[in-house]
Structure 1
Amino acid sequence: MNAAPSDLAIRTRGLSKRFGGRAAVDRIDLSVPRGSVFGFLGPNGSGKTTTIRMLLGLIEASDGEIDVLGHEVPRGLHRVLPRVGALVEGPAFYPFLSGTANLRRLDSADSFAVRSTRNARIGAAIDRVGLSHAASKKVHAYSLGMKQRLGIAHALGDAHNLLVLDEPTNGLDPQGTREVRSLIRSLAGEGTTVFVSSHLLAEIEQMCTHAAIMSSGRLVAQGTLDELRQAGTARIRLETPDDAPARRVLASLGLEVAPSGASGGPGDFADFGGSVTAAVSADVAPETIVASLVEAGVRVRGFEVRSESLEDRFVELTGEGFNVAG
């Protein structure tokens, strides 16, 4: 990602955090465009939450630079924090206070919050996350999904330039998930940059414009979702009765042909009788492959190209599975 620093809501260079001799975050260069919905992906223990804590000034970096909304962190936190809303590692509330009372108490503890607009802001935030019907109910009676919504309402607070959400759809039913997804999109449409850390890959694919993938403390990929998918390997499946000649043609084009009867890695087609599968490099067009096969006398009865999904790309980069169902 080659955006100018002024076009970035978050920018890090060589950012590292060590705990004793262990590097939890190892020299990452993160670039989050302004106005994007940016998905932050990675297995448990990959360094996502540690990175978020450094971005918000909750812990100090061991090395590197952090720039948030044009200001250096932590030196410029007093200018950054009034413009940032955050929900990190799940919401925590006073159980015997109502949802509204909890938000008032949290807002009053915020030295940057404007007291004169408190009631209006809290009412608008509660309404926006769909909790108006339960605003006066004590939080101990809230479901997990309702508590998550209340946490998002607190993060919304005043008008923010950047919203940092850690697992924003945790505990929500399908309808609530759709509503939060729509809320995040509407915030981005109004110019807010939304930074979303999540283990729900399907949600990242539906709500985000950009993403970064962490693995063992390192940033292994970042870009738009299309860029991340296209950086992977596409695969073809050819249906033909001419197995041996087809394999020779594909090999002559420099394609990596799967062994007969094999089913490859994530995103591969199962190789069953009468089919040949192969990995396709970006510099070999599918029409070139088909033309070469026909020219060689190979009978082409079916031809399909499959690009990698974001899940395929994740597994390829991290070597780990991903919880796509939640």
Structure 2
Amino acid sequence: MTPPTWAAGDLAIETRALTKRFGQQTAVDAIDLAVPMGSVFGFLGPNGSGKTTSIRVMLGLAAATSGEVSLLGESMPGRLARVLPQVGALVEGPAFYPFLSGAANLRRLDTADRAAPGRTRRARVDRALDRVGLSNAAGKKVSAYSLGMKQRLGIANALLMPRRLLVLDEPTNGLDPQGTREVRALVRSLAGEGTTVFVSSHLLAEVEHMCTHAAIMSAGRLLVQGTLDELRAGESRVRVRTPDADAAIRVLAAAGLTAGLETPEVPARPGADPWVSAPLDADPQPAESLVAALVAAGVRVRGFQIDDASLEERFVALTGEGFDVVR
């Protein structure tokens, strides 16, 4: 299948001052979200930050207090009947009939979709189960499924029909490491086929593995959004582990770097060599030249690394909080 092309600036999801209140509590606070067509977009934030509420409003499952939403270029919820057949979604965990098999559940759900042709139903169900690795459990009752298997079945349901947009709320919830890797591969393959994938998660590592773009939510507010490279933009550091800390600091200073001893968060074991670190400027020297200078000066280099800015550091810099904080 040849992936479709879009004009630069085409958006799969766009919100303008989207707000949702529950009584006096503001769950979503005037967010302006822009999800490019063809992207794998990570919607990041701690549990309770407003991610799922935002998704429910975008999909027409809850009414906005104020603001505007458009999906695939169409206003929501006014064009809901036209838009939703083009959207697959897994929101707040899947729910199925426990006394039916996985395949029977999917066939029942597909029957309820007016846009789904009955003549291809069995083949589409089989293909969706195969894509999420549940072919061997297709005939097993869902009551015997693990949490991870139910999560896979929910993703399979979202894939029963061709979709231009796939919205996945915590898709790796309950999955073991192998299942998590398979979901990552599935998301990448869907994006390669031209589907825009919107992934809500509180797991930074998952977003860094899967996504091309991301946004960070906290306490109902949208703090920042952009490509992963844009979000990671920040201070990189060179780190040297050595028993000759003073000499290493002098060598790095001669290279134009302001170095100092690191204070470890966890006390180091007795006798462990300290780490010296320095922020790198916009045009840093090559790593090999720094190592050569250290060795030439007699510094015993026991460890050397350059740490790029991470999404976690970006989040902490924006909010001043750890990622597990829920207000």
Same fold by TM-score greater than 0.5? yes
2:91 matches 1:92: no
The corresponding residue for 1:268 is none
With normalisation by structure 1, the TM-score equals: 0.81
Shift of 1:107: 1.7
Say if 1:96 and 1:10 are closer, same or farther in 2 by CA, change over 3 A: same
Contact 2:262 2:277 in 1 (8 A): no
Is 1:42 aligned with 2:41?
A: no
Q: Partner of 2:277 in structure 1?
A: 277
Q: Identify the match of residue 76 of structure 2 among 56, 73, 76.
A: 73
Q: Deviations over 1:250-307 (max 9, x none)?
A: 9xx7x8766x56358xxxxxxx97764344454x6346xx99xx9xxx9877675321
3-state SS of the aligned residue for 1:15? strand
3-state SS in 1 of match to 2:246? coil
Structure 1: state its 5+ residue gaps: 265-271
Task: Tell me the distance in 2 between the aligned counterparts of 1:277 and 1:127.
Answer: 49
Match of 1:241 in 2: 246
Count residues with an aligned counterpart: 304
What is the Cα deviation at residue 235 of structure 1? 2.4
Distance change in 2, residues 1:123/1:305 (3 Å): closer
* SS of equivalent residue, structure 2 residue 63: coil
Match of 2:186 in 1: 183
Aligned-CA RMSD value? 3.1
What is aligned with 2:21?
18
Contact 2:248/2:299 (CA < 8 Å) preserved in 1?
A: no
User: Is the contact between residue 36 and residue 193 of structure 1 (CA under 8 Å) also seen in structure 2?
Assistant: yes
Work out the CA distance in 1 between the residues paired with 2:249 and 2:62: 60
Aligned equivalents of 1:26 and 1:79: distance in 2? 27
Query: 8 Å contact 2:9–2:36 — kept in the other structure?
Result: no
Query: Which is worse superposed, 85-94 or 194-203?
Result: 194-203
The secondary structure found in structure 2 opposite 1:91 is: coil
Question: For residues 275 and 167 of structure 1, do their structure 2 counterparts lie closer, same or farther at Cα, with a shift above 3 Å needed?
Answer: closer
Matched, 1:308 2:309: yes
8 Å Cα contact 2:252-2:258 kept in structure 1: no
Q: State TM-score, norm by structure 2.
A: 0.81
The equivalences for 1:252-263 within 5 A come to 262-263=263-264
Using the alignment, how far apart are the partners of 1:244 and 1:119 within structure 2?
A: 68
3-state SS in 2 of match to 1:241: helix
The one-letter code sitting in structure 1 at the alignment partner of 2:38 is G
Please give the alpha-carbon distance, in whole angstroms, between the structure 1 residues aligned to 2:117 and 2:9.
Answer: 28
* Correspondence for 1:318: 319
Equivalent positions of 1:82-121 (< 5 A) are: 82-121=85-124
Change beyond 3 A, Cα 1:201–1:80: same
Q: How does 1:45-56 map to 2 (within 5 A)?
A: 45-56=48-59
1:244 Cα deviation (Å)?
8.0
Q: Distance in 1 between matches of 2:199 and 2:37?
A: 14
Which of 56, 64, 84 is the equivalent residue of 1:61? 64
Structure 2 Cα separation of the partners of residues 60 and 84 of structure 1: 18
How far has the Cα of 1:117 moved from its partner?
2.7
**Which contiguous aligned blocks of 4+ residues in structure 1 show a shift greater than 4 angstroms?**
3-6, 242-250, 255-258, 272-276, 298-304
Q: Deviations over 1:206-254 (max 9, x none)?
A: 111111111111111212212211x22222346753588679879xx7x
Determine helix, strand or coil for the equivalent of 2:14: strand
- Give identity over the alignment, percent: 64
Q: CA deviation at 1:138?
A: 1.0
Q: Give distance in 1, aligned partners of 2:223 and 2:285.
A: 28
- Whole-angstrom CA distance in 1 between matches of 2:18 and 2:97: 35
CA distance in 2: counterparts of 1:44 and 1:200, whole angstroms? 10
Q: Structure 2 CA distance, aligned partners of 1:249 and 1:39? A: 41
